Amino acid sequence: MGIDFSKPKTVTPEAIAELNAELAEMSPRAILKFALSNFSNAAISFSGAEDVALIELSHKLTDDLKVFSLDTGRLHPETYRFIDQVRKHYGIDIELMAPNQDKLEAFVKEKGLFSFYEDGHKECCSIRKVRPLRRKLATLDAWITGQRKDQSPGTRSEVAVVELDNANAKEGGILVKFNPLANWSSKEVWDYLRMSEVPTNELHQKGFISIGCEPCTRPVLPNQHEREGRWWWEEETQKECGLHIK
């Protein structure tokens, strides 16, 4: 773990790969402690159950916990209540990142509110999620996500505990991405949440597992994988919104 993050030239893919190998054997809390100790300008990306686990694991590790969430304008009412419950429970600020209003208005005027059912969700997600995310990440040196390997076997099975996020890094900059829960299963996340007695989204009690925007999310049936409830009209390999591209 001898990387000097203040010197970008030392933050090479090879050094990050070595660091990933070391951190992969550690607990999520230890990984978070490393991230928050080495980056004063790091933030947790918050949207779902995994991210509450991250906040619960890390809120005592720093007096300056930074958390942000993407407000697409299409979230369920339950999700907005959930965000506020988490904010109050931990006494933290959760910065809400909204889409660029001019670009969103132009998109809706041209294609309407439900074009994603006809031509795919990528364009809508780009405006409502990806661009606001990149706007936020341009202000950070590191971000922390709740990605797990078992969330989506087709697209996330190789999620690393720590990686360079070249796709979202600002020009000429270094952006490090931590995924402390990469090796946890869904059961481990929920066991931890129940033990910690923290807020969770009401929608989980209604059959929702992976929760996104209201028009693009539905409950799953028994024994269905959690991603079956997202963009169900599209091919399995397309069930990503572009936030976690390589």
Catalytic residue among 124, 125, 216, 241: 241
- Cα-atom radius of gyration of the chain, to the nearest Å? 18
CB-count burial class (<10 Å; 0-12, 13-18, 19+) for 236:
middle
CB-count burial class (<10 Å; 0-12, 13-18, 19+) for 241:
buried
**Which token pair is 29?**
């809390």
What element of type H or E holds 96? strand 94-97
- Map tokens 């936030």 to a residue: 243
**Residue 125 is a catalytic residue:** no
d(C-alpha 191, C-alpha 50), whole Å: 11
Residues in the chain: 246
d(C-alpha 29, C-alpha 141), whole Å: 20
Residues classed as catalytic: 241
